[in-house]
Chains A and B, each alone.
Chain A
């Protein structure tokens, strides 16, 4: 525990408040988990462990489930059946339904109006709240850090640990402050900012660390933008990413199904306002980024750190002094079919994907619609809302019509082409500008080539059929 009166970071305050047992040289800390989000892909084997050992879910009311990874994003067929990609995907979904009944926790499954991508769903439910510890068997759990929660991804064994004990064994990670000064320019979004930060830190640069994002450019982000930034903390290798809660957070949470009301809300607000890092709190490491220097960003390689400004040129491996780094870059360019020194502007693409836990929220849909309105897409374009709430809200604003009239597909909520488990995927060799979070080899389908970018950049690429500069669209709009 921190000493009395010591200036503490946001992370440290949340960590200290959840210690069932502090760590010692011999044993990790026993950390209490407030909210456990569950989905169909990483949970079945954990429930098998519970059954094998005769254990129950210790706190069903702290366990909240939805489905997203392996589900179809097309509606039911005429006979009322969901068009699952195969029997295995359907069996996985049915297994989660059975587990929810057998173990007695809340599930918002297929067809439920609250269903969505788990990291869009949790905040929308008001389940994610400032100061909480939140885990999920999914590395993008860091998303929930946007609310000032300590949120991180865990493996299936740990899913079992939390189900059985509501606790995890953890060593305290180090802290990294990323201070973002200045303000983002026109046509530059939270996605561009976080991609630029990852390029700076490197794809493994945050390993063993929890990032706190600070500074005026972070403060001025909407909750959607903050979730986008925290979501991709893992792409720099970080355990988690946090942003101190403020009025933007409290307003966003207001009136959600699980957000406290009345007197409870007043008490919660008093606690939440005290969560921000204290004046003079120190971090293990600090990095400063100038937001005004961040351009619309796009990746050219096979990890999220391999990105450049959209009007930049693909780096030349010959200029890499370190042989390992040179080999990594060469392998990436070979896979991507790109040449050293070439511009990405004008690079033809075969598909565009707009959605995911990174960019599947209402604000993202609005950004994409802004660039597609009154225009036609030249390539296959999938627009996949992050949840039914997002879908409904977007439809209420007529965004679905904008997408359909532009020739894009307006789908049902799910992870879709971010992870390509459900049949939404690329053919080998195809290029896709994608608002998702990973450009790993084959991530969007074996042999597929992913260029990560913002919703605006993705939408202008859909209209141009090639990589294009979103700043022109932003000016023209």
Chain B
């Protein structure tokens, strides 16, 4: 995994609340046995009409969406299914951070394991980002801050261990494997 430290990008604003993982990637794309190449299915039913043509009014299809690596969405992003295909699709499309006022538990955990930074902000800072689509923003994982349009920064927190893993580009499985002695001792004592 590539280390994540500073993400600088224009924002893509999707001002909807409760964006569930079925919207992020519909279930019919889950028949794959691969984790790659899912970016084309991202937000598929919002992005394409029944004939497969891009819907021009959807934010991701607008010319200014190109190159945006920070997604700003409404409250409770990523609710619903546990499908890790959701962060796989977001990452494959090019997103590196998702900003909301609340991010669903399983989606948050899945994102952290794929180098997609889940950022939860206070309502006021979040509202400033929602009101300024395309703003140039810096997310600093080391400092745990987001720069806000019009000046100032907002603070966020990421669990210390997940932060360490992201900053150093290491995955959690390595840490768990290193616990073998403790795991064996636990099993032996039951």
Contact = CB atoms under 8 A, between A and B. Distances in A.
A248 to B, nearest CB: 27
Interface residues of A, number: 67
A44 B84 contact: no
Contacts of A446: 26, 45, 50
B33 A44 contact: yes
Given A32-B183, A167-B176, A207 B30 contact: no
Contacts of A44: 32-34
A91 B30 CA distance: 12
Nearest to B190: A32
Contacts of A428: 50
Contacts of B171: 157
Given A155-B110, A165-B179, A441 B173 contact: no
A204 B79 contact: yes
Nearest to A32: B186
A203 B179 contact: no
Interface residues of B, number: 51
A299 interface: no
B57 interface: no
B174 to A, nearest CB: 9
A30 B18 contact: no
B172 interface: yes
B106 A155 contact: yes
A421 B182 CA distance: 41
A161 B84 CA distance: 14
B66 interface: no
Contacts of A91: 31, 33
Contacts of A443: 22, 27
Contacts of A184: none
A324 interface: yes
Nearest to A50: B173
Interface in A420-461: 420-421, 428, 438, 440-443, 446-447
20 contacts: A21-B182, A26-B160, A27-B175, A30-B183, A42-B30, A69-B27, A91-B31, A139-B106, A154-B109, A155-B82, A157-B114, A158-B113, A165-B173, A169-B172, A169-B176, A203-B79, A421-B27, A441-B23, A443-B22, A447-B45
Given A92-B31, A324-B75, A440-B22, 9 more contacts: A155-B84, A169-B175, A203-B79, A237-B79, A327-B17, A328-B16, A328-B18, A441-B22, A442-B45
Interface of B: 15-18, 20, 22-23, 26-28, 30-35, 45, 50, 74-76, 79-84, 102, 104-106, 109-110, 113-114, 159-161, 164, 171-173, 175-177, 179-180, 182-183, 186-187
